[in-house]
Amino acid sequence: MTHDPNCIFCKIVQGAIPSRKVYEDDEILAFHDIAPWAPVHFLMVPKQHVPSLAHVSEAHAPLLGRMLALAPRLALEQGCQPYPEGGHRVVINTGVQGGQEVHHLHVHVMGGPRPWAKG
Ligand code: 5GP
Ligand code: ZN
């Protein structure tokens, strides 16, 4: 498993920085965003350091597929209402112009009653 010693999400994966955990398996960690925009707002990250969506290759496809498939289940577990009246937003900011601030690939999952602070 590759980690970047300067990466905040690698530190969260390794437990060096605490987080409020939503889900964990061998490859994926999900935890609540520290500054939520919506009543439900958590992040899903690969445990290995992948800087962004721009860095993924075919080899990452199963991992990304698992993350996307997991998002709706975790959203419901975290209190999002079911589709279609409820639902959730899935966002992957990529690169500086894409709004990415933390350069470890992460999937934002946001939901709950509106209005939201952002988005
Ligand atoms: P980005 O703008 O890169 O897509 O999103 C980064 C997200 O990470 C932001 O929503 C920010 O609130 C969240 N974040 C940054 N540092 C931490 C941290 O130390 N802990 C947690 N739980 N979230 C963080
Ligand atoms: Zn990292």
Strand order in the sheet with 40-46: 21-24, 28-32, 40-46, 107-111, 88-91
Domain span at 85: 8-111
What pLDDT does residue 1 have? 79
Known catalytic residue at 106: yes
For residue 90, tell me if it sits in a domain.
yes
Residue 98 lies in a domain: yes
Q: Which pLDDT value is given to residue 95?
A: 98
CATH number of the domain that residue 107 is part of: 3.30.428.10
pLDDT at 119: 83
Given a cut of 50, the residues of the chain with pLDDT beneath it are: none
The neighbouring-strand residues paired with 91 are: 108
99 C-beta closer than 6 A to ligand 1: yes
Cα(23) to ligand 1 centroid in Å equals 17
